[in-house]
Structure 1
Amino acid sequence: MEGMDMDVEESEPSFNSKHLKRFGLKNTIQTNFGEDYVFQIVPKDDLTSMAVSLSTNAVKLYSPETGQYFGELKGHSSTINEISFSGSTTPNVLHSCSSDGTIRAWDTRSFHQVSSVSAGPSQEIFSFSVGGSGDNLLAAGSKSQIFFWDWRTKKQIACLEESHMDDVTQVQFVPDHQNKLLSASVDGLMCIFDTRGSINDDDHLESVINVGTSIGKVGFFGGASQKLWCLTHIETLSVWDWKDARIEVNFEDARTLASDSWALDHVDYFVDCHYSGQDDRLWVIGGTSAGTLGYFPVDYKGKGSIGSPEAVLHGGHTGIVRSVLPLSGMRGGPTRTLGGVFGWTGGEDGRLCCWMPDESSDANRSWISSKLVMKSPKTRRKSRHHPY
């Protein structure tokens, strides 16, 4: 772990973002000594550990509270595309899927692999999800196919080959509807399946939603998880009611709307969305190629709008940010706190950055003022950067 020294800049009152939350950089961790990327950061349920996938085809484990390094999980022979901790029944198990065609389970106490399944020698697995009755069904998205295994026996029980025409980038069992699976693909389609019984394309495909362009990331939110946000590879954002297959709002110019609401450089890409069930609020997290992030509130009702950022994370990264792990601190954010830490970010500079509310004595207050969200009279550079 190494600190980062920065010049101190006094904060000024912000007049155009009444909810602006100021955060400071507590510390940074350099995860490697080369030019490797941080792909994804995920937390263990009890927040005693976080897993970080890297472009070295390995996963490293750290303490979210202190940044202490615990150990490394090594075994994949190609890019790790998704990682996720298991639920409360097996809290020390982490799953990972890779372009090497495997999904592996790891014991995060011993750092050893405990089981795996394979989709075949020429397959790549881009996403996975565990659900179904008793959480025993493992689904995975591959090259235009969706595989299913019984996680108890590791036996493949189905393969859907007709629903998508291109890489399946996302599969997710729907929260509160564990027999419903959503898949999303580069072909621009999202499909909803009922996974009960003997799974096949003809009888189990319930609905198809045409987004119209390659889909990068999706997430469920709202009461009974009925809403669905969708980020595409051309940086558009849309919100859907998946039960009715109905679009609620489509932000084709999402980057421009976000860019116009702060005084920093153009928003080049979106990293993720964050939802607070407590206040029923949705944010889209946008970033610049220089590594600054903004939490932009999304009004998805009526005509829809993207507002001024309510948090800005600036000064920690020097490149594109790939993953954000919020832990606490923002209005309407997660209710559990962890040593006052707001969250962690990781990116293409190989850094993990820890952020704290800047009223904390441990935070470096160097990086944020109202200048970050005030409108600037200068013309903003309208660059178009595609990080993926």
Structure 2
Amino acid sequence: MNQLDTLFSMTEDLNTNSDEDADIVSDSESAQSLIQYYVEQERSLSLQRTYILHMSCSQGVADKLFLGLSNCTSVVYDIETLSKVACLSGHDRTITGVKVGAGEDDVVFTSSLDGTIKLWDLRLHNNMVREYKDASEGDDKLKPISSFDISSKKTVIAAGTELFDGDAFMLFWDARSTKLLGGYWESHRDDITHIQFHPSKKDWLATGSTDGLMNVFDISECSEDDALLYSMNTESSVDKLQWFMCLNEVDGLSCITHTQDLQVWETDGVIPYAKHMQRDIIAKVMHRTSSDYCYLVDFLPEDSDDEVSLLAGSTAGKGECLKMLKVQKKTLTPVAVFNGNKQIVRSCCSIKQKNLLVTGGESGFFTLWKSDGLSQNISAASLKVKTKSKHSSVGKKPY
């Protein structure tokens, strides 16, 4: 079962009897404690059932929104006019990532389970200008790419794959020439679900997998064995991950699991930075009556390196419930509510210079959100998360 099939199946399961979930607190109580987000603008893509699975925003002069859809295409919208700028068709399997070229408004990368990462330049009649793939075994045996990222210096592209002939691969290309630089295949035992470069350490790379491991590599080392710095065993299945800075100035990794739990780790010493936040705890922080329908969307970029911010929702009804949570000083706190949400959300990004958040989801439209920027007393709604005093020893090597 591929990623899209899993997503459809999960949604159908979550929607069963979803009317049993509701907010514990009233709208008036929520307004007193949370930042309020309101719909600024909204645009539907089509009348067909098309999920918005991935999104990325340019942050330059001409703001554009790049969307990866469940029909294997990507579309580009102008943020100011909400008009469609381009439709990028070239993948023949599920799109697994969309990333805008750093500092550029017209350049975007897309990845797919078809085994390719494509670079598009909107200035060249929407043409694909480069294609990155591992064709070492022929074009008919490309490794299915499940996640990718670009180094901070824009020189290296790294990608993780689903299992291929019994191995899960990390592949590396020269971003400027499409040359395959090499790969790792011994550190993960199952699909690599997320891959992310460190925001400032250009050679550090984090990976998450359904084998339960989050690994940190220094890819400047000559071998995979030497490159593997840390391995954290979540004892779950990793869906998404995010770098952050712990209070003691140690690099941290947070992750969302496929069971909708949140974990926050220190990399130095490979210990949990805070107690793992299971789904029932997250539902309590969200003030929901049932944890069965609560889900985590994705992490949001933060202005402060020592905070973890993410979106969470409920599949109850039409998926109207959408809130923002933060981990601040090991405290999980609800900080914002989104008024007027009409769908189960699957992707998000921020346009900081316009103070906008963008969400997209299962009903096939994207929403631009603006906040009132006000919160009065969020401490009463927060939940203290204590650091574990005992933890299982996790070695440097995953096995």
C-alpha displacement of 1:242: 1.9
How does 1:238-317 map onto structure 2 within 5 Å?
Answer: 238-262=263-287, 266=291, 268-278=294-304, 280-289=306-315, 290-291=318-319, 292-301=321-330, 305-307=331-333, 309-317=334-342
- 1:125 equivalenced with 2:148 (yes/no): no
CA distance in 2 between partners of 1:17 and 1:234 (Å): 30
1:71 aligned partner, one-letter code: A
C-alpha displacement of 1:71: 1.4
SS at structure 2 position matched to 1:249? coil
Q: Deviations over 1:160-202 (max 9, x none)?
A: 111110011111111110111111111011111111154x322
Contact 1:254 1:306 survives alignment (8 Å): no
Cα distance 1:252–1:262, how it changes in 2: closer, same or farther (>3 A)?
closer
The match for 1:331 is none
SS at structure 2 position matched to 1:28? strand
C-alpha displacement of 1:351: 1.2
Contact 1:180 1:194 survives alignment (8 Å): yes
SS at structure 2 position matched to 1:212? coil
Contact 2:133 2:142 survives alignment (8 Å): no
1:315 aligned partner, one-letter code: G
The count of residues paired between Structure 1 and Structure 2 equals 333
Tell me whether 212-221 or 244-253 shows the greater mean CA deviation.
Answer: 244-253
The match for 1:50 is 65
How does 1:1-388 map onto structure 2 within 5 Å?
Answer: 14-15=28-29, 19-46=33-60, 48-88=63-103, 91-109=105-123, 110-120=125-135, 121-131=141-151, 134-142=153-161, 143=163, 144-198=168-222, 200-222=223-245, 226-262=251-287, 266=291, 268-278=294-304, 280-289=306-315, 290-291=318-319, 292-301=321-330, 305-307=331-333, 309-318=334-343, 320-327=344-351, 334=352, 336=353, 338=354, 342-357=356-371
The match for 1:3 is none
C-alpha displacement of 1:316: 3.1
CA distance in 2 between partners of 1:343 and 1:65 (Å): 14
Contact 1:97 1:125 survives alignment (8 Å): yes
CA distance in 2 between partners of 1:314 and 1:265 (Å): 20
SS at structure 2 position matched to 1:258? helix
SS at structure 2 position matched to 1:177? coil
CA distance in 1 between partners of 2:157 and 2:82 (Å): 31
Q: Deviations over 1:16-60 (max 9, x none)?
A: 675512222233211122111001121112161110111111111
Q: Deviations over 1:50-103 (max 9, x none)?
A: 101111111111123442221111101111001101113x55221111000000
User: If the length of structure 2 is used for normalisation, what is the TM-score?
Assistant: 0.76
C-alpha displacement of 1:125: 0.3
- Runs of 4+, deviation exceeding 4 Å: 12-19, 263-267
C-alpha displacement of 1:14: 4.6
Cα distance 1:66–1:23, how it changes in 2: closer, same or farther (>3 A)?
farther
Q: Deviations over 1:259-300 (max 9, x none)?
A: 454257655210012353348443331111132211123245
The RMSD of aligned alpha carbons is 2.8
1:257 aligned partner, one-letter code: I
Contact 2:347 2:361 survives alignment (8 Å): yes
Give the fraction of aligned pairs with identical amino acids, expressed as a percent. 27
CA distance in 2 between partners of 1:92 and 1:160 (Å): 32
Q: Deviations over 1:212-263 (max 9, x none)?
A: 1110000112377822211110111111122432211133424443345425
Structure 1, unaligned runs of 5 or more: 1-11, 328-333, 360-372, 375-388
1:125 aligned partner, one-letter code: I
CA distance in 2 between partners of 1:181 and 1:261 (Å): 32
1:99 aligned partner, one-letter code: L
Structure 2, unaligned runs of 5 or more: 1-25, 136-140, 374-379, 382-399
C-alpha displacement of 1:107: 0.3
SS at structure 2 position matched to 1:323? strand
User: If the length of structure 1 is used for normalisation, what is the TM-score?
Assistant: 0.78
Contact 1:237 1:250 survives alignment (8 Å): no
Contact 1:217 1:230 survives alignment (8 Å): yes
